Structure 1
Amino acid sequence: MPITPANGQTAGLSAASAPAAAESIMLELVDEDGTTIGTAEKLAAHQPPGQLHRAFSVFLFDEKGRLLLQRRALAKYHSPGVWSNTCCGHPYPGETPFAAAARRTAEELGLAPALLAEAGTVRYNHPDPASGLVEQEFNHLFVGVVRAEPAPDPAEIGEIAFVTAQELAERHAKEPFSAWFMTVLDAARPAVRELTGPSAGW
């Protein structure tokens, strides 16, 4: 699969077993400071050892301070059937992370957040043992409030749940979660606490 750096050169990387629909999606490659340095096809960027690329993670809370979780659909090629944060994904090349976060929240959950705010960034490297893919990401974090009733797209989401901090801890101890979940949640906690208040326990 071709990788296109900023200088226009290409290199080959195979992902013959991956779905064709996913292969056509392009991501922004970035350096350690988050500066765009080129683009790569989505699956190529996730092949071991992974290429550092831009991503986002959204954490939406209801007015009771409960986090909206999603269980990724079983048909997903990457991390299927595991619980994760409200929404996550990748901006298109040239798309701002904020715009991408709002777009994917609407596409996956059928709603627009009543509030969506930036909550910093986190850089991580998480291999996914089940798929063999690697999450090598410079991740933009967002927190917000949801008041509308979610209408999940079944192609993306198998199940949703609103959980308190205690309920999340119990669920996380006994059910599978995405490899990146705790990393992005821990990085977003200062903004989450500011949003939900100390009584919510985040």
Structure 2
Amino acid sequence: MPTTPVTTASTASDASSGTREPILLELVDESGNTVGTAEKLSAHQAPGQLHRAFSVFLFDEQGRLLIQRRALGKYHSPGVWSNTCCGHPYPGESPFAAAARRTYEELGVSPSLLAEAGTVRYNHPDPHSGLVEQEYNHLFVGLAQAAPRPDPEEVGETAFVSPAELAERHDAAPFSAWFMTVLDAARPAIRELTGSAGGW
């Protein structure tokens, strides 16, 4: 199973003040309609506020899935493996635009193809941090035809895995609480994208 550790560094800070603006998430109802905004951390504190999110699954030409191990410095689910990219649109930003933006920011990859793959709603508490994922998640599948260049503040390492390799890794290492939920919801689109090459 090829694994690529992150060895390059990059920073993104406000040079004038050294502070970061609060990150706002878009709150939604059970149908995915916008109902307001909330600060990112407060939206994840128990019992959680339902908010819009996205999950990306990128594959190489052999039908292998690009997964990432979240950086140890992240306050939510640090050091666990997950799908290619997860995140939250800014208020008013389309999920598609947010998915493309964050995939590039985290992994240095611009998908050569990115397609909508439905939505899934879930409630997943994180047993280690006590934070709660109450999310209305927009799913995307696509192709990665360039080598990842991850931001080490976001990503600890990356790997391209086959279904068998993923199952082996999932048995041996911790994965994000939401990983299997979003993977299972995206499988029909994944199979359409990868065909016989993937075996998903």
> What TM-score, normalized by structure 2, do the two folds share?
0.89
Q: Deviations over 1:140-181 (max 9, x none)?
A: 000000001110000000000000001000100110000000
Give 1:7-86 correspondences, 5 Å limit. 24-86=22-84
RMSD value, Cα: 1.3
1:197 aligns with 2:195: yes
The share of aligned pairs that are identical, in percent, is: 80
Q: Which residue matches 2:170?
A: 172
1:122 aligns with 2:120: yes
Counterparts of 1:201 and 1:22, CA distance in 2: 43
Q: Which residue matches 2:16?
A: none
Aligned length: 183
Counterparts of 1:74 and 1:139, CA distance in 2: 24
Gaps of 5+ in 2: 1-18
State the AA in 2 paired with 1:133.
Answer: L
Counterpart among 122, 133, 152 of residue 135 in structure 1? 133
State the AA in 1 paired with 2:109.
Answer: L
Gaps of 5+ in 1: 1-20
State the AA in 1 paired with 2:132.
Answer: V
Question: How far 1:23 moved relative to its partner?
Answer: 7.5
Counterpart among 158, 161, 164 of residue 159 in structure 2? 161
Structure 1 runs of 4+ with >3 Å offset: none
Q: Which residue matches 2:7?
A: none
Q: Which of 1 and 2 has higher RCO (CA within 8 Å, sep 6+)?
A: 2
Counterparts of 2:77 and 2:181, CA distance in 1: 16
CA contact (8 A) 1:114 1:146 kept: yes
